[in-house]
């Protein structure tokens, strides 16, 4: 949920001083990432009041619907202290490293603070200021779309897109989740980004989401694959075969960057590798969370994630977590309908990325999948 990416990390003063030295020049040379004053007050409240959790529902309760955020909580060493200048510089450098368009920061006291970066360049709303939202989307996105996933069992659907002259952001009186996804103009290697997640109750904005169906809480990666197949079974779909080692290896390769962002070239390489083993790559879901239940929640709530889980052509699945255990990648595939690639074809550096919609984040990077 993507899709949202919220990560709370305690940093010692020495670590972020080193990071500042490495990235200060780059951050100052670029006027790209913009300071977001609108995020300062709500995150000061969340972080400095030591919220028990930093999940989507906590953000929704604070009136925030942005997805793809990176949040780090900073703690100075026993002999050190935080200053506004140091924390501000680190926040901007973090946005540059992540290819994000905005950043913010705050200080709770001399020992504790926070830094944040976001893919959104400015506040965006699906409820008001429609012309301003369309202007931002036109400036930063090659294309965009708004999707809806119902609160109960059911398939996601697309509500509107950049192809329409008069797009609508409304879902009627239904309960569920609305998402806004953007295929950015820059960086060119990036797939789609999840920008917003709106929980709805009977058509009105809500501060809590619906429960995840079919979840049996036991906290292992294997339980996540079992949950995926239970959800597919509930929708009358064939279960996925998770026993093919090639798919798990490709999923593991896709975790190497450690980033939530979809990389079109990496996805192209995954497609070619699977073709060699007689599979067609259907897409990837990327989430950052701290336990399998949270990962299942992100897969289900995000319309595009759910779209890949319920892909009607999928017959095989692969899943892997990054070494830090926060990033998880799920891929779906089917038996190939094309002849397998020869080994000499697999590393052609001249092959351009062929994913017009990149990822459908958070489904994420889905190829040829329409909601």
> In which region does residue 122 sit, left (phi positive, over 0), alpha (psi from -120 to 50) or beta (all else)?
beta
Q: What is the DSSP letter of 344?
A: G
Nearest alpha carbon to residue 369 among 282, 298, 257: 282
Q: Give the tens place of pLDDT for each residue, 233-265.
A: 999 999 999 999 999 999 999 998 887 888 888
Peptide bond into 187 cis (omega under 30): yes
Question: Which pLDDT value is given to residue 89?
Answer: 95
Residue 355 has pLDDT above 80, yes or no: no
Phi, psi of 100 (to 5 degrees): -90, 165
Residue 28 has pLDDT above 70, yes or no: no
Q: Give the tens place of pLDDT for each residue, 122-138.
A: 999 888 778 899 999 99
Nearest alpha carbon to residue 101 among 125, 89, 117, 123: 117
Nearest alpha carbon to residue 250 among 91, 365, 165, 363: 365
Residue 186 has pLDDT above 50, yes or no: yes
Task: Return the minimum-mean-pLDDT range out of 157-166, 266-275, 290-299.
Answer: 290-299
d(C-alpha 103, C-alpha 108), whole Å: 17
Question: Which pLDDT value is given to residue 68?
Answer: 86
Helix pair angle (13-29, 84-97), 10° resolution: 60
The more confident residue out of 309 and 293 is: 309
The arithmetic mean of pLDDT across residues 318-340, rounded, is 86
Radius of gyration of the chain (CA): 20
Burial of 172 (0-12, 13-18, 19+ CB in 10 A): exposed
d(C-alpha 49, C-alpha 318), whole Å: 39
Three-state secondary-structure class, residue 20: helix
The arithmetic mean of pLDDT across residues 198-224, rounded, is 77
**Residues belonging to the chain:** 371
CA angle 46/52/57 to nearest 5° reads 70
d(C-alpha 160, C-alpha 164), whole Å: 7
Query: Residue 363 in contact with residue 287, Cβ under 8 Å?
Result: no
Question: Which pLDDT value is given to residue 126?
Answer: 86
The more confident residue out of 70 and 346 is: 70
C-alpha 28, offset from chain centre: 27
Query: Residue 28 in contact with residue 330, Cβ under 8 Å?
Result: no
Helix pair angle (245-254, 264-276), 10° resolution: 160
Q: What is the mean pLDDT of the chain?
A: 81
C-alpha 249, offset from chain centre: 21
d(C-alpha 354, C-alpha 364), whole Å: 15
Question: Which pLDDT value is given to residue 371?
Answer: 30
Q: Would you place residue 192 in the very low, low, confident or very high pLDDT band (cuts 50, 70, 90)?
A: very high
E strands, the chain, are: 34-35, 70-75, 102-107, 112-118, 141-150, 157-161, 176-184, 193-201, 204-205, 279-288, 316-321, 327-335, 365-366
Q: What is the DSSP letter of 265?
A: H
How many C-beta atoms lie closer than 10 Å to residue 26's C-beta? 12
Question: Which pLDDT value is given to residue 33?
Answer: 94
């Amino acid at each position: 949920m993507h899709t949202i990416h919220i990560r709370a990390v305690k940093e010692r003063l020495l670590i972020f001083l080193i990071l500042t030295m490495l990235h200060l020049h780059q951050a100052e040379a670029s006027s790209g990432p913009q300071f977001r004053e609108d995020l300062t007050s709500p995150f000061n409240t969340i972080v400095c009041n030591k919220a028990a959790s930093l999940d989507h529902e906590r953000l929704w309760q604070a009136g925030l619907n942005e997805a793809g955020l990176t949040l780090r909580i900073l703690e100075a060493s026993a002999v050190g202290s935080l200053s506004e200048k140091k924390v501000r510089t680190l926040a901007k450098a973090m946005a540059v490293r992540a290819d994000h368009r905005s950043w913010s920061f705050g200080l709770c006291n001399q020992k504790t603070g926070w830094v944040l970066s976001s893919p959104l360049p400015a506040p965006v709303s699906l409820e008001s200021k429609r012309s301003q939202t369309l202007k931002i989307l036109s400036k930063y996105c090659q294309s965009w779309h708004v999707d809806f996933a119902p609160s109960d069992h059911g398939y996601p659907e697309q509500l509107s897109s950049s192809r329409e002259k008069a797009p609508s952001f409304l879902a009627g009186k239904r309960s569920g989740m609305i998402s806004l996804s953007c295929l950015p103009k820059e960086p060119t290697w990036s797939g789609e980004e999840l920008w917003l997640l709106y929980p709805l109750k009977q058509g009105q904005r809500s501060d809590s989401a619906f429960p995840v169906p079919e979840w049996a809480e036991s906290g292992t990666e294997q339980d996540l694959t079992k949950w995926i197949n239970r959800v597919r079974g509930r929708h009358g779909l064939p279960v996925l075969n998770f026993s093919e080692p090639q798919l798990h290896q490709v999923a593991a390769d896709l975790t190497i960057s450690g980033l939530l962002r979809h990389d079109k070239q990496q996805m192209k390489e995954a497609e070619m590798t699977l073709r060699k083993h007689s599979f067609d790559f259907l897409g990837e879901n990327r989430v950052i969370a701290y336990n399998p239940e949270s990962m299942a929640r992100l897969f289900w709530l995000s319309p595009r994630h759910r779209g890949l889980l319920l892909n009607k052509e999928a017959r095989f699945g692969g899943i892997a977590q990054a070494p830090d255990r926060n990033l998880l990648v799920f891929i779906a595939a089917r038996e190939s309908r094309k002849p397998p690639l020869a080994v000499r074809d697999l590393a052609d550096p001249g092959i351009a990325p062929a994913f017009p919609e990149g990822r459908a984040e958070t489904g994420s990077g889905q190829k040829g999948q329409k909601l």
